[in-house]
Structure 1
Amino acid sequence: MSKALRIAFAGTPDFAAECLTALLGSQHQVVSVHTQPDRPSGRGRKLTPGPVKQLALEHELPVHQPLNFKDDADRQVLRDLNVDIMVVVAYGLILPQAVLDIPRLGCLNIHASLLPRWRGAAPIQRAIEAGDSESGVTIMQMDAGLDTGDMLLIRRTPITASTTGGELHDALAAQGGEAIVTALNAIAEGNLPATPQPEEGVTYAAKLSKAEAELDFTRPAAELDARIRAFNPWPVAWTRLEGEPLRLWLSRTGGQRLDTAVTPGVLLAPGNDCLRIACGDGHEVLEITRAQLPGAKPLAVKDLLNSRAARFPEGLALGASHSPDTDSQTETSA
């Protein structure tokens, strides 16, 4: 068994909590947790701790929630812990070099992409949106750049034609937990070489926004399908149905071509289990298999057609001046 390392952990959302769970099950000692300050949540806007804080409290771990690390008092807290290493995942703060230098062995990041592809805030969703065939996690030695540090360990996972953002998030969170424990074991044994990231292949995963989730049906069916899957469960792709937001949760392309072009965004005759929408050059078809009407729960389109078929007449053009409401969904990027 490798030497036990003293670890400070920094993270905030579910993805990070999954990785913290893996560390707590390892031989290494998590001595403290740094996480974002509690945020207002729910109808009452009550201050609510994030998943990492909740998990830390369950395990009676010391929790620190600095606004940032600009105050030397916050950095002193980390110095006083005398940790070997700091593990950082989806923390939500950019750590200055003065913090990166405090742990004896520096800081490691669990990044949800195959670096240098998809550096930045939303690597999981951007990989699906771009049509990538695989993703993964990279254990990286942190430096002052944006996800530019040397790579220590990589794990890969496929992205299929049906993979959603939520499914890839969960798979990579579990993979990240396994990978960080493996990396720490190797570091404790002095047997984990670092590899600089290649200069070629760098892409940036911009932060997600609700505005970009509105679909443009002049885009190709495959592109729209990828965006719908990528934005499930947040921010959720949407369009406008007679002036009201219609959220689109699941889709497929089917590869059909219409003999006669139809204006993109127009509803075609529905299938048995799907809404069919003309898109692209007007000859392509996007099939929606799960959708959500305003004020209702997401439903399989088969059930929507059984109960609300009149809302989806053939020939109806999707689009009107309206925006989706902004409650009920929570960002899941890592």
Structure 2
Amino acid sequence: MRIVFAGTPEFSVPCLAACRASGAEVVAVYTQPDRPAGRGRKLTPSPVKQAALEAHIPVEQPESLKDAAARDRLAGYAPDLMVVVAYGLILPRRVLAIPHLGCWNVHASLLPRWRGAAPIQRAILAGDSESGVDLMQMEAGLDTGPVLLERRTSIHADDTGGSLHDRLSHLGAEVLAEGLRRVLAGEKLTATPQPEAGVTYAHKLDKAEARLDFGRPARELERQVRAFDPWPVAEGDIANETLRVWSARALDLDHHATPGSVLAAGRDGIDIACGAGALRITALQRAGGKRIGAVDYLNARPDLRPAR
């Protein structure tokens, strides 16, 4: 089997490794063009490109797959299957029709819930108890295709966007490996259409969403902090200073204080009044500084400590 792999971020790299380990031949890797990154804004290859170059696999980086020349180049690789994992470009119908087995997509949600760009963070924000990965046969619609295989995982109370991302990345590689093993053994996978009920969309993250509104319930803010770790990182105005909040937990605390005011500050953290309950902040970051624990922050802000 000849596979063309399409992916860009770190999430996709284990799936590329699964393709290579399957016994199929990865004849080309498609990934986003190099983008500026870091303080120097130097053009940087994607994690998938780096992995492909290390494996001596040809790399293609078209800006789009809509023009005929790009489609002809893809067809020239004569792929039996195209595997797409967080590629970042839309595949037109004519591209989907090039491999005779079509195109598979590894998607980080339990479809039809959280179709779209940011399913991992949206699941945490919504308070979902479960997530997973679906191996899907691609159609022209956005994540609308029938599901071939699925893996599930619980969302833990301390999961962050980063920890759930890493777990789903490896689950995605597992479900893809199973699909490839079965097809290479001659099996035809059953494609189960997605139900019409329960469709939700995971819109792309916006930095503005990271602002903490202490007028909201503490439980919602805790999920916001967890979902936006490691990006874009929650931030709020606390004790007359704008801080990035890396770690926090909700407290079921009755109070009559103004939302955003400091209720308590000590070894366990900084308790901020919310519209319902309180948010205990345990790790934060000052402007221009690094991530520190609440105790270290309080050492620099003795005015927040209770009078002895």
TM-score using structure 2 length: 0.96
| CA apart distance, 1:104 | 1.0
Give the unaligned 5+ runs of structure 1.
Answer: 315-334
Distance in 1 (alpha carbons) for counterparts of 2:303 and 2:155: 34
What is the Cα-based RMSD across aligned positions, in Å?
Answer: 1.4
Q: Does 1:239 align with 2:236?
A: yes
- 1:27 pairs, out of 23, 26, 33, with 23
Out of 235-244 and 204-213, give the one that drifted further. 235-244
Query: Which residue of the partner structure matches residue 130 of structure 2?
Result: 134
Which structure: greater strand fraction? 2
CA distance in 1, matches of 2:86, 2:302: 44
Q: Does 1:269 align with 2:264?
A: yes
Return the offset for 1:243. 5.9
Does structure 2 retain, via aligned residues, the 8 Å contact 1:11–1:92? yes
- Structure 1 residue 186: Cα displacement: 1.9
Equivalences for residues 17-56 of structure 1 within 5 A: 17-56=13-52
Alignment of 1:213-232 (within 5 A): 213-232=210-229
Q: Give the AA of the match of 1:16.
A: S
The CA deviation at 1:135 is 0.4
Deviation of 1:241 after TM superposition, in Å, equals 4.0
Contact 2:22 2:181 in 1 (8 A): no
- Contact 2:160–2:226 (CA<8 Å) still a contact in 1? yes
1:299 is aligned to 292
CA distance in structure 2 between the aligned counterparts of 1:312 and 1:61, rounded to whole angstroms: 57
* Residue among 281, 303, 308 paired with 2:300: 308
Kindly provide the CA deviation profile for residues 213-263 of structure 1, in whole angstroms up to 9, marking residues without a partner as x: 1011111111110111000000100012466430001111132323xx101
SS class of match (1:43): coil
C-alpha contact 2:245 2:285 (8 A) present in aligned 1: yes
Whole-angstrom distance in 2 between the partners of 1:28 and 1:177: 15
Alpha-carbon distance in 2 for matches of 1:105, 1:311:
66
Return the TM-score normalized by structure 1. Answer: 0.88
2:120 is matched by which residue type in structure 1? I
Q: 2:247 aligns with which of 239, 244, 250?
A: 250
Partner of 1:326: none
The letter for the 2-side match of 1:109 is N
Separation of aligned partners in 2, 1:163 and 1:302: 23
In the alignment, what sits opposite 1:280? 275
Residue 148 (structure 1) aligns with: 144
Structure 2 gap segments, 5+ residues each: none
Alpha-carbon deviation of 1:311? 6.3
Matched-pair contact (CA < 8 Å) for 2:239–2:261: no
Displacement of 1:270 in angstroms is: 1.2
Give the secondary structure class of the aligned counterpart of 1:268. Answer: strand
**1:20-99 map, 5 Å:** 20-99=16-95
Q: How far apart, CA to CA, are the structure 1 residues paired with 2:303 and 2:203?
A: 35
Higher relative contact order (CA 8 A, sep 6+): 1
1:218 partner amino acid: G
Whole-angstrom CA distance in 1 between matches of 2:115 and 2:95:
21
* 1:301 shift after superposition: 1.4
Matches within 5 A, 1:86-235: 86-188=82-184, 189-235=186-232
